[in-house]
Structure 1
Amino acid sequence: MEVYVDDMLVKSTRASHHVNHLGEMFGVLRTYHMKLNPQKCAFGVGLGKFLSFMVSNRGIEANPEKIKALQNMRFPTKPKEVQRLTGCVAALNRFISKVTDKCVPFFDALKGSKRSEWTPQCEEAFQKLKEHLGKPPILSKPNVDEELGIYLSVSQHAVSFVLVREEERVQLPIYYVSKRLLDTELRYKEMERLALALMVASRKLRYYFQSHTIRVLTNHPLRQALQKPETSGRLLKWSVELSQFDIKYVPRVAIKGQVLAAFLAEFSHRPAPAASGEVEVTKWKLYVDRASSENGSGAGVLLISPEGHKITSAVRIKFKASNNEAEYEALISGLRLASHLRIERLSVFSDSQLVVAQAENANTDALAKLASSRDSDTLGVIPIEELERPTIEEQAKALIIQAGGNWMTPRIQYLMDAQLPDNKDEARRIRYATIPRAPLENLTSILSPWPFAKWGVDLIGPLHLAPGGLKFAIVAVDYYTKWAEAKALTTTTEAACTKFMWDHIVCKFGVPHSIVSNNGKQFDNASTRRFCDSLGIRKDFSAPIHPQSNGQVEAVNKILKYTLKKRLDNLKGKWAEELPKVLWAYRMTSRTTTGETPFSMAYGIEAVLPVEIEMPTLRTFIHNDDDNAEGMNGELDLLEEKRLDSQLRLAAYQQRTARYYNKKVRQRRFVPGDLVLKRVTQSTKPKNTGSLGPTWEGPYRIKEVLRPGTYVLESLDGKRIQHPWNVEQLRLYYQ
């Protein structure tokens, strides 16, 4: 049974089943006290018009009246007549393959403010359109859970696609769609246009994509283009959107259907190769590949004669080589072997090409892995050539310049020797120069492997004194679901913070893998360490004076304080009463990073909001225990998929943020043994110095590099400094 607003269609594959199906339909109508208009009903129809289409057991056909109206139309002479023609075509575009390409002359005739002209190209396109509609295709209807295929095509002006199903080894069309490219889309690369065609298909035919597995029939590496990490922002966005569907990418096979002949070529705007009368000369085939492992790099070479005989060889690369260099060495080794055999005509295949012969390249890939493995010498079957140095060595060239002073010289002298120029104005500019605020290290993103595994904890306050002596708030945030817990406190003692972690994290969500906090005594103390050790919780600390290390909880703190400020106005002392409401609003609001609310990420369904009581929704107005339980079970079944989609969105968001942030980075690196100064903290600041105290203290020695931008320090007498320090809080010490 199909329902379209107020139109219903009951279909049966067999006449004997039709009466039973009608009985079920009338039973549903009686249950909900619905009535039908007898004058608009028809029963036992083998062929009939439904929603302006002709529906029969053969499939869906175009309305003959609309086809006849278009075929009887004379060639237009006025703009309105051209618009009428395009309107008639739009009503039939589901049945016309590549309809946009067929109508390009009509669109060009209407373009601009000048009077439209009916050109010979328009007349030719008009006649071809009539011929095409003389034998309109019959569209098929897919079965439930049937796997469907889609053919994509890109032309100079449009992207087109056709959804098909296969029955008795014949591919039957389901839906034709075509879209004209916008001015910006005309500048897309070919692979981006092909991805755009798939993206338009998923939006236009969303019902089919959600209900069926879709096989994208393409001979181009579309899946690799959408899923590679260094892909452009546009392709990455499309990849995230397409990840919600069950899409498979398979090579094209012979098109089994005359109505699909227009989709033989994926890029129809490419010029066809010129016909040549030369006799094809038999060629040898060379397949090369490279592989890398912890033991080094290797290359595989496979040479195939015209008769099919195979010659194999492997190359072990003993010097440090990049992927491109290893690929070049593999190619040079193969060409050297071909030259030794006096081969004159040769076709080369490798992974660097977009389309390769996958079966043969699998052999060369195995040879390359053999050459790079540790135990390759013990096999003694494949000859292995060892390269001690690159085949083509390029000598490094140095440019000798005259050493002399420049604009940096006085600044270097001031930083190293505290020496200022004699000119007072210049000395003042150097002494009070603006300190660059560009970040010193690339952005590092933090991901949690599963819900409630990694928490960030921080304090807010002191705030306005609230009833009960409440002055502080402690906040905890889960890195995966973005769920937040908060509690108002009178004091920030070790016991209060540890009790919060027990009551609001462990007792509610289980024992986490790790908890991240700052280096305050409330979290860095013996009591908290014993608590974490007893439960097997890893305690991580952010770098001193570097709250960005625990940026997730800092961001939530900012949201809570901003929302409290908006709600309280002048009554700041009531913040403790408003904290649960603000926390509830945060949990029910969709997060930009995940696209979901923390509540739905945690429990699998959305909470019922007060607005749904005032303006009833379906789940509050019609409540049935069985339907409610079934709906909740369905939401829980989709919870893992929802969480996976949210993590894909989060990864894409973090990549965009890191890409923008890293553009401004001016890296500063230290190595073990360097002497540095570290910024003075509140605990190490000399007493009674106030704002006149020193900003930097030291020197200290770099003892260890934990990761780029994070260092372990020690004093000059070898005493280790307790916490790691971020590069932004360090500066080089000039002796």
Structure 2
Amino acid sequence: MPFGLCNAPATFERLMERVLNGIPRDRCVVYLDDLLVHASDFGGALKNLREVFSAIRQAGLRLNPAKCNLMARDTMFLGHVVSGQGVATDPGKVAAVKDWPTPTTISELRSFLGLVSYYRRFVRNFASIASPLHRLTEKGRAFGWTQACDAAFQQLKMALVDTPVLAYPYPQQPFILDTDASNVGVGAVLSQREGGAERVVAYYSCSLNRAERNYCVTRRELLAVILAVRHFRPYLLGSQFLLRTDHASLTWLLTFRQPEGQVARWLEVLQEYRFEVQHRPGHRHANADALSRRPCAEGLCRHCQRQEEREGSGPAMVV
């Protein structure tokens, strides 16, 4: 296949998917010309390799021995180090981020953000940290490097250096989803219990737009839940999970009998999932904490106040 064709990657990926169609994803993962054949023991690895080699041979394809890494305990795959302990960032990419000079143009800043964004699931509250840098790339904004930008730049570099090893998800075990919101963004942590301890599967965060920043605290907390379950849908749909929040009013909001408007649409989204809600005090909820939390100056917004009057009850804890 000639290089440079815009449809070449999709065509090649379709070919590889067809060649390896009979092999389950829990034995072989393919992305273009990168194959990851894995197993829990040596015998299983041999069996899976024979199956993959047979499929490739029948398709008339060849492998380059110099590019094959067999029976490895850890390997590089799509910019990540995959091992028995979990998934980690590529040390080479992390070194490049650590040595990245301070951007002097929007183009240089976008290049930096593009690299670190690839590993955003390893960084807690990535969107909130990177918010000053993203604002600098907005259309029509003059490039002006401020102390806030430099602080965000250095914090992102340090966050990439100290990234955790993310655990592999086990669909047969329940997930734990921690969510939180601030006045600038939302954050979430997906984890599972392993060996008596909680291990992070992935982090998620995103910035709020101008309209969303005007939501009351309760509504922003509910938005954080909606965005998190949508992002982690492949993990959560069809599985039982525990939703933990540090906002007590959110547990009451999820029990509305006659929701209306935006809240009704959001609660309809949650009807697809099986979960229980648990309130956790803020000092124990640091893993999903966004930049800051502050109570709504006027209490509930008029929408939540009206809903409370319709329901005829105040906040109630659901555990």
1:198 paired to 2:222: no
Compared CA separation, residues 267 and 116, structure 1 to 2 (3 A):
closer
Partner letter of residue 69 of structure 2?
A
Matching of residue 237 in structure 1 with residue 265 in structure 2? yes
Matches within 5 A, 1:224-623: 224-252=252-280, 261-263=286-288, 265=289, 268-270=292-294, 352-353=314-315
Conserved? CA contact 1:61–1:138, under 8 Å? yes
Distance 1:143 1:355, change over 3 A: closer
Deviations 1:119-144 (A, max 9, x none): 11111222222222222111110123
1:81 alignment partner, SS class: helix
Structure 2 distance, partners of 1:9, 1:211, is 27
CA distance in structure 1 between the partners assigned to 2:118 and 2:135 by the alignment: 20
The offset of 1:355, in angstroms, is 5.7
Q: Displacement of 1:268 after TM fit?
A: 2.7
Q: Does the 8 Å CA contact 2:253/2:315 hold for their aligned counterparts? A: no
Q: 1:177 to 1:209 in 2, by over 3 A?
A: same
Structure 2: where are the runs of 5+ without partners? Answer: 1-26, 296-308
Select the residue among 146, 155, 177 that pairs with 2:182.
Answer: 155
1:59–1:140 contact (8 Å) kept in structure 2: yes
Distance 2:35 2:90 in 1: 19
CA contact under 8 A between 2:80 and 2:87: conserved in structure 1?
yes
Superposed CA offset, 1:532-557 (max 9, x none): xxxxxxxxxxxxxxxxxxxxxxxxxx
Q: Alignment partner of 2:189: what SS?
A: strand
Q: TM-score, normalised by structure 1?
A: 0.35
1:171 aligns to what SS in structure 2? strand
Question: In the TM superposition, what are the counterparts of 1:606-645 in structure 2 within 5 Å?
Answer: none
**Aligned counterpart for 1:120 among listed residues 134, 144, 147:** 147
Q: Which residue in 1 is equivalent to 2:29?
A: 3
Cα deviation, residue 41, structure 1: 3.6
Mapping for residues 201-216 of structure 1, pairs under 5 Å: 201-210=228-237, 212-216=239-243
8 Å CA contact retained: 1:79, 1:115: no
What residue in structure 2 maps to residue 678 of structure 1?
none
Q: SS of the counterpart of 2:225?
A: helix
SS in 2 for 1:235: helix
Cα displacement (A) at 1:16 = 3.6
1:175 pairs, out of 191, 194, 202, with: 202
How far is 1:269 from its partner?
A: 2.7
Contact 1:226–1:239 (CA<8 Å) still a contact in 2?
Answer: yes
Aligned pair in 2 of structure 1 residues 163, 255: CA closer, same or farther (>3 Å)? farther
1:261 Cα deviation after fit: 4.2
Q: How does 1:714-733 map to 2 (within 5 A)?
A: none
Q: Is the 8 A contact 1:226 1:236 kept in 2?
A: no
- Return structure 1 stretches of 4+ with deviation > 3 angstroms: 4-8, 23-27, 32-37, 221-224, 251-256, 351-356
8 Å CA contact 2:28–2:37 kept in 1: the answer is yes
Structure 1 residue 354: Cα displacement: 5.3
Match of 2:305 in 1: none
Distance in 1, matches of 2:28 and 2:263, equals 36
CA deviations over 1:164-192 (Å, ceiling 9, x no partner): 11112221111111111112211222222
Residue identity matched to 2:268? V
Residue 215 of structure 1 deviates from its aligned partner by 1.3
Secondary structure in structure 2 of the residue aligned to 1:173: strand
- Tell me the SS of whatever aligns to 1:38: coil
Q: Which moved more, 1:193-202 or 1:90-99?
A: 193-202
Q: String of CA shifts for 1:369-403, please: whole Å, max 9, x gaps.
A: xxxxxxxxxxxxxxxxxxxxxxxxxxxxxxxxxxx
Write the distance in 2 (CA, Å) between the matches of 1:254 and 1:19.
49
TM value normalised by structure 2: 0.76
Sequence identity percentage: 24
Taking the aligned partners of 2:175 and 2:287, their CA distance within structure 1 comes to: 19
| CA shift in 2, pair 1:62/1:209, >3 Å | same
1:255 is displaced (CA, Å) by 9.3
Letter in 2 for 1:249: V
Secondary structure of the residue aligned to 2:210 is coil
Return the match for 1:96 from 92, 112, 123.
Answer: 123
Moved more, 116-125 or 11-20: 11-20
Equivalent AA in structure 1 for residue 226 of structure 2: M
Displacement after TM superposition at 1:205 (Å): 1.9
Q: Tell me, yes or no, if structure 1 residue 217 matches structure 2 residue 244.
A: yes
Aligned length: 275
Report the CA distance shift for 1:117/1:42 in structure 2 as closer, same or farther (over 3 A).
Answer: same
Q: Distance in 1 between matches of 2:191 and 2:92?
A: 26
- CA 1:254–1:122 in 2, change beyond 3 Å: closer, same or farther? closer
Higher RCO, 1 or 2 (CA under 8 Å, sep at least 6)?
Answer: 2
Query: Residue 237 of structure 2: SS of its match in structure 1?
Result: helix
Q: What CA deviation, in whole Å up to 9, does each residue of 1:5-46 have, x standing for no partner? A: 54442222223432233344456x27x943554225432121
Alpha-carbon distance in structure 2 between the residues aligned to 1:202 and 1:118: 35
**Structure 1 residue 231: Cα displacement:** 2.1
What is the distance in 2 between the residues matched to 1:141 and 1:72?
30
CA contact (8 A) 2:125 2:290 kept: no
- Return closer, same or farther for 1:166/1:227 CA change in 2, 3 Å cut-off: same
The 1:225/1:194 distance shift into structure 2, 3 A limit, reads same
User: Residues of 2 paired with 1:224 and 1:75: CA distance?
Assistant: 46
Task: State the alpha-carbon separation in 1 of the partners of residues 218 and 30 from structure 2.
Answer: 37
Structure 2 CA distance for partners of 1:115 and 1:106, relative to 1, 3 Å: same
SS in 2 for 1:117: coil
Other-structure match for 1:68: 95
Aligned equivalents of 1:76 and 1:267: distance in 2?
A: 24
1:146 aligns with 2:108: no
